[in-house]
Structure 1
Amino acid sequence: MPNRKFGRASDQRAAILKNQVTTLIINGKVETTVARAKEISAIVEKLVSSAVKESDNYTTKEITVSAAKIDGKGKKVLKTKTAKSGAKYEVVDREVKTKTVQVDNASRLAARKAMIKWVNKSHDAEGNIINPVNKIFDDIAPRYAGRNGGYTRIIRLGARRGDGAEMAILEFV
Structure 2
Amino acid sequence: MRHAKGYRRLNRTHEHRKALFSNMADSLIEHEQIKTTLPKAKELRPIVEKMITMAKKGDLHSRRVLASRLKLDASVVKLFDVLAPRYADRPGGYIRIMKAGFRYGDMAPMAIIEFVDRDVDAKGAGDKARLAAEEAGEE
Which category describes the TM-score, using the shorter chain as reference length? 0.7 to 0.9
Q: Which residue of 1 aligns with 2:9?
A: 5
TM-score, normalization by structure 1: 0.61
Q: Which residue of 2 aligns with 1:93?
A: none
Instruction: Quote how far apart the aligned CAs of 1:166 are.
Output: 0.6
SS of residue in 2 equivalent to 1:7: coil
Instruction: Quote how far apart the aligned CAs of 1:117 are.
Output: 3.1
Residues 1:41 and 2:37 aligned together = no
SS of residue in 2 equivalent to 1:131: helix
Q: Which residue of 1 aligns with 2:60?
A: 109
SS of residue in 2 equivalent to 1:117: helix
TM-score, normalization by structure 2: 0.75
Residues 1:164 and 2:107 aligned together = yes
Q: Distance between the aligned counterparts of 2:91 and 2:53, measured in 1? A: 8
Instruction: Give, as a single letter, the amino acid of the residue that structure 1 aligns with 2:62.
Output: A
**Higher strand content, 1 or 2:** 1
Q: What is the number of equivalent residue pairs in this alignment? A: 111
Pairing 1:1-173 to 2, within 5 Å after superposition: 3-52=7-56, 54-55=57-58, 108-121=59-72, 131-173=74-116
Show structure 1 runs of 5+ residues with no match: 56-107, 122-129
Instruction: Give, as a single letter, the amino acid of the residue that structure 2 aligns with 1:120.
Output: K
Deviations 1:72-122 (A, max 9, x none): xxxxxxxxxxxxxxxxxxxxxxxxxxxxxxxxxxxx12111221233111x
**Runs of 4+ residues over 3 Å off in structure 1:** none
Q: Distance between the aligned counterparts of 1:44 and 1:132, measured in 2? A: 11
**Higher helix content, 1 or 2:** 2
Query: Alignment RMSD, CA only?
Result: 1.3
Instruction: Quote how far apart the aligned CAs of 1:14 are.
Output: 1.2
Q: Distance between the aligned counterparts of 1:116 and 1:38, measured in 2? A: 23
Q: Distance between the aligned counterparts of 1:167 and 1:109, measured in 2? A: 37
Instruction: Give, as a single letter, the amino acid of the residue that structure 1 aligns with 2:67.
Output: I
Instruction: Give, as a single letter, the amino acid of the residue that structure 1 aligns with 2:71.
Output: N
Show structure 2 runs of 5+ residues with no match: 1-5, 117-139
Deviations 1:47-95 (A, max 9, x none): 101112x13xxxxxxxxxxxxxxxxxxxxxxxxxxxxxxxxxxxxxxxx
Identity value in percent: 41
